[in-house]
Amino acid sequence: MTQPSTPSFKVVQVCSVAPLQGPTLSTTPTSLPLTFFDLLWLRFPPVERLFFYSFPHSSSSFFDSVLPALKHSLSLTLQHFLPFAGNITWPHDSSIPIINYFPGDAVSFTVAESNANFTHLCSHLCEAEKRQPLIPHLNTSHEQASVLALQVTVFPNSGFCIGITTHHAAFDGKSSTLFMKSWAYACSNNLGESSSLSLPQHLTPFFDRSVIKDPEGISQAYVDAWMNHGGSNNRSLKVWESINATPSDAVKGLFELTPSHIEKLKQHANSKMKTKVKLSTFSVTCAYVLACLVKAEQPKTNRIVFIFSVDCRSRLDPPIPATYFGNCVGGQMVVAETKDLVENDGFITTLEGINEALIRVKDGVLNGAKDLVSNMQKATTDRIFSTAGSPWFEVYSTDFGWGRPKKVDMASIDRTGAFSLSESRNNDGGIEIGLVLCKREMEAFSTLFVQGLESF
């Protein structure tokens, strides 16, 4: 009997794309200090996203038409994002790391070809390892780290995938999405041989770091935490090694909560909760997913810690522009006893904890921020769950000129153990949830997720 052949994957080209020389270069900053929002994520794994697009044409057609357009529009887009063609360094004469761009710096750009099953990769369930070749990698050492890497993989007569990897200390999810949408805008507008790009206001990045005030010394607290992590005066830019390893039989699953599901969750919660509050789609989604996850996984730890991010741009005093580029998210922690989630109604228990955290945000989005890194380091003996992405990013509207993505996959959750959130690919107001589990846990989660919704 003939054995099934292993899908082939080959790297066609490894190159660099530099910002195209043009008038925008003189007005874009080339150096950015890291704020405390950035420093929070200094040693965390990079963020990896995969955008899958349908392109039912030959490889030659892709290389002749699509690839040149992607490269040229990228070089134009980088005119507006100069520091992110550079690197993070931590000079000995600087108290904080800095992002620097020097003329000649460029973004790593890999071109590959694969005959893997494109439809399977775009499905709601596939083996996590099959996505790994599609992910670009940052060049990182103890002394220096690139902040952006890109890869384009073509699947002949099926489609192509754009992979983006960003250093978490340089981009938050909103900034990463802004960059991708700016690139897509440049590409879809068929700028040809143009040497400059004018971005609309909602896509123009705002870089002024002076708007981030730090009267409480949060930056110094984060610097101290990282410099004392793993030794004294530790200026390493390497990833924090205690991040989760991906199970060998890991499966990536996508699940959806439709608007009717979300309404049912809110109605059920209002009938059970002691205190009546206005429930958000975010809170009921996270609470339901977390309740199913804990029951599927059955953690051996005594405590569950749930960490979620809150966009601070509109919540700072005074608020800062929505297009502020960098990190501007605060972390909130919810702690619960594992047995309360496994034995009781974990959905309600978790939801009450999330609502309490959201109330704390209203009292001051930066309350407790100074101790966040040290608290996360102390929680390593607990089972930590977290979120990644947001439905507000509208990643499925990222159109390079060949239509909306068939799938947007947050590949970095393979290692972080987070579950991702985005708007539904169906554009119907629902929420798409992505998570990576071993096969047994994925089967258990799927059953709990579906049966729970049917029981309301």
Mapping DSSP to helix (H, G, I), strand (E, B) and coil, where does residue 34 land? coil
Amino acid type, 64: D
Q: At what angle do helices 346-363 and 259-272 cross, to 10 degrees?
A: 90
Q: How many Cα atoms occupy the beta-carbon half-sphere of 206 within 13 Å?
A: 14
CA distances from 87 to 5, 21, 164, 165, 397 (A): 40, 19, 16, 14, 29
Please give the angle made by the CA atoms of 325, 327 and 332, to the nearest 5 degrees. Answer: 145
Q: 230-236 — which CB contacts under 8 Å span 24+ positions?
A: 235/90, 235/92, 235/142, 236/43, 236/142
Residue of 168, 229, 261, 268 with catalytic role:
168
Q: Note if 399 is an active site residue.
A: yes
- Encode 186-202: b = buried (16+ Cβ within 10 Å), e = exposed: bbeeebeeeeebebeee
Q: Look at the block and give the residue holding tokens 């991702």.
A: 420
* Tokens at 285, concatenated: 């989604």
Q: Note if 168 is an active site residue.
A: yes
Amino acid type, 123: S
Q: Which of 384, 306, 361, 304 minimizes the C-alpha distance to 337? A: 304
**Would you name the residues annotated as active-site residues?**
168, 399
